[in-house]
Amino acid sequence: MSEMLRFGGLASGLDTHQIVDDLMKAERIPLDKMQQDRQVLEWKQNAYRDVNLQMTKLRDSFRATGLGLQSTFLQKAVSSSNTGVATATAVGNAPNTSVQLQVQQLATATSWITPTGADDPGVNENVLDQRVKDWWGDGEGLEFVDGRATISLDVKRPGGEFETVSFHVNDNDTVAQVLTKMNRSDLGVNAYLDQSAAAGAVPQMIMTMTESGSGSAIRLAAEGEDGDPSTSANGRALLEAFGFGFGTEDPPQLETGAGQEGQNSRFSLNGHATERTTNNFTINGINYQLTGETVGNERVTITAQTDTDKIMEKIMSFVEEYNELVDTINGSLREERFRDYHPLSDEERRAMSEREVEMWEEKAMSGLLRRDPALSSALSGMRMSLYSSVQNEAAGMFKDLASIGLVSSSDYMDGGKIVLDTNSRTMPDGQRLNGEDRLRAAIESDPEGLYQLFMGSGETQAEDGVLRRLRGSLDTAIDRVTQRAGREGRTMHQFTLGREMMNMDDRISNFERRLQQVEQRYWNEFTALERAMAKANAQADQMFSLLGGGMM
């Protein structure tokens, strides 16, 4: 143990180092036992935390996702008989339904396009790189104040009223940058210069409302920003420079030119004629996306039905996760303990191959949580939560998991796993259904009642859904194991095993100090022996010399 450089046996001829090492091996036996016990505590902590992590994962799988959400049980499969005309998806609490859809007209957005012709030369194709202050002659164009011009226009969106929108440009901005600022402003337009590849084509400025529907318009602002008429004049100057024209209204309204007025979508649902400003809208929980128009008397059938397969998949996914946790806990509780296999010391580890060490430690770590009361209690609580009946009227005809085809495994060694019932039961309508068919029938007949069976809430625990009760049981089990083994972020003194390891560390430190003292005592004793031997040898040499033993 000591790092001091010592020389022994010079007088006695004894291998002092080996003798002291052998003596210290015997002295270190209690220390080795404490270090092994400390290692076992650490292994136990890791084993507890692995189980806790799996319990947390199961709990979180239905805390705010999966079966914990009402929307999981209300999923709909929506189909369209002609996806070229319309597609649809279910949103919210959509009912099972089937509707006949006819589309007379798709919604379009208002567009303004600069005209081309003898009197309309269009826009110079190189204008985008031109600085806006150089676009006009002296005394014309935008009015800049301290290098900045404010542009105000009144814009009317589909179904709305006119509102004044302003944006700012700098005198050093290029025309391309001005277009970018227009598009990013609250005007709600997308403007660009179309430089057609066709031979002899005249570049055109195109401006389109970002919202579809009829009624869109742009006009000169009556007063401009903060009552400043120059900002309205700036709006006119900019748009006219782009090649757009204004009507004779008061205030003047921007003419569409080669563009067109926007229009609403017009359609009939089950014979009821109506319209919307967009091609994407929601009616009665079904979101429709119109993509084309029907021909003649054509009718597109949109059908929404409970998506049994997806809901079934979610439920069975939970069952699989739960059963994996039961396997883990049962395995820990039943795992055989091999008490003859202790944690290896460094010296023992060096004497073995890697494979031998791996096999040894596998035995040494086996059964650390065998018959653990915390895990036994957790498993019992989970079973009680799942298989007790639910006394909640909101769950309808579903009173327990067995009523929807999920039962506890009849194999005792499974430890309460959930399985689909292989036996058939007579249903209220006279049908005899096995577990899988009962579950599918429950999903299709009353998905809301099924959600209440799993996640319903009541004033008493008996009224709570099975997963809400299971979540409470898991919370209790997780807290109990955490108190025993801690979790990431907790300090050692905050949980039982941590405090035991700290106590063991103190005992090991104290014992190591004692071993240093014992080793020093052994060396002191052998040093005294060496001195005595050296003195005896010196006396013998002197006597031998006096007796003339050294003379021929």
pLDDT, position 386? 93
Beta-carbon contacts of residue 314 (< 8 Å; ≥ 6 apart): 66, 67, 72
Strand partners, 164: 154
Strand boundaries in 171-299, DSSP class E:
189-194, 204-209, 217-220, 265-269, 272-276, 280-283, 286-290
Q: How many CA atoms lie within 13 A of 237 on its CB side?
A: 21
pLDDT of amino acid 393: 85
Q: For position 141, what pLDDT does the model report?
A: 82
Asked if residues 127 and 205 have their Cβ atoms less than 8 Å apart, the reply is no
Query: What pLDDT is stored for residue 1 in this prediction?
Result: 47
pLDDT at residue 500, rounded to an integer: 93
In angstroms, the CA 53 to CA 324 distance is 13
Asked if 501 and 492 touch (Cβ cutoff 8 Å), the reply is: yes
SS3 194: strand
What secondary structure letter does DSSP report for 257?
A: B
CA pair distance 170, 184, nearest whole angstrom: 15
Residue 430 and residue 427: Cα distance in Å, rounded?
5
162 close to 156: Cβ distance less than 8 angstroms: yes
Cβ count near 465 (within 10 Å):
25
Domain range list for the chain: 24-71+310-335+370-497, 76-107+264-306, 111-242
Burial class from Cβ neighbours inside 10 Å (0-12, 13-18, 19+) for residue 363 reads middle
Q: How far apart are CA 186 and CA 162, in angstroms?
A: 12
- Closest by alpha carbon to 420, among 431, 412, 409? 409
Nearest to 51 by CA among 355, 541, 480: 480
Contacts of 183-191 with CB under 8 Å at 24 or more apart are: 186/155, 187/153, 187/155, 187/218, 188/155, 188/157, 189/155, 189/218, 191/242
For residue 217, give both structure tokens: 């318009």
Task: State the Cα–Cα distance between residues 450 and 315, nearest whole angstrom.
Answer: 11
Question: The tokens of 142 are what?
Answer: 């935008």
Residues 6+ apart with CB under 8 A from 395: 449, 450, 452, 453, 456, 465
Distance of alpha carbon 484 from alpha carbon 411, whole angstroms? 31
Residue 441 CA to residue 94 CA, distance in Å, equals 19
Three-class SS state of 389 = coil
In tens digits, the chain (552 residues) has pLDDT values of: 445 556 565 556 677 778 877 788 888 888 889 999 999 999 999 999 999 999 999 999 887 778 999 889 989 999 999 999 999 999 878 889 999 999 999 999 999 998 876 566 556 656 788 888 887 766 678 888 888 999 999 999 998 999 999 999 998 999 999 999 999 999 999 999 887 645 556 788 899 999 999 999 999 987 655 656 778 889 999 998 888 999 998 889 999 998 999 999 999 999 999 999 999 999 999 999 999 999 999 999 999 999 999 999 999 999 999 999 999 999 999 999 999 999 998 888 999 999 999 999 999 999 999 999 999 999 999 999 999 999 888 878 899 999 999 999 999 888 889 999 999 988 888 889 999 999 999 999 999 999 999 999 988 989 999 999 999 999 999 999 999 999 888 888 999 999 999 999 999 999 889 988 888 888 888 778 878 887 887 888 778 787 765 554
Single pTM value for the model: 0.73
pLDDT at res. 25: 83
Which are the contacts of 414, defined by CB distance < 8 A and separation ≥ 6? 326, 330
Given 3-state DSSP classes, what are the helix, strand and coil percentages for the chain, each rounded to the nearest 5?
Answer: 45, 20, 35
215 contact partners, CB below 8 Å, separation of at least 6: 156, 157, 158, 159, 160, 262
Long-range contacts of 135-138 (CB under 8 A, 24+ apart): 135/175, 135/241, 136/237, 136/241
Q: What angle do CA 140, 144, 149 make, to 5 degrees?
A: 110
Q: What is the rounded distance in angstroms from the CA atom of residue 324 to the CA atom of residue 538?
A: 80
> Residue 179's closest CA among 161, 389, 187?
187
What is the C-alpha separation between 12 and 382, in angstroms, rounded? 72
Q: Diameter of the chain by CA atoms? A: 149
The enclosing H or E element of 48 equals: helix 16-61
Question: Is beta strand 148-156 parallel, antiparallel or unpaired with respect to 217-220?
Answer: antiparallel
The residues, ordered by sequence, that sit 6+ positions from 7 with a Cβ below 8 Å of its Cβ are none
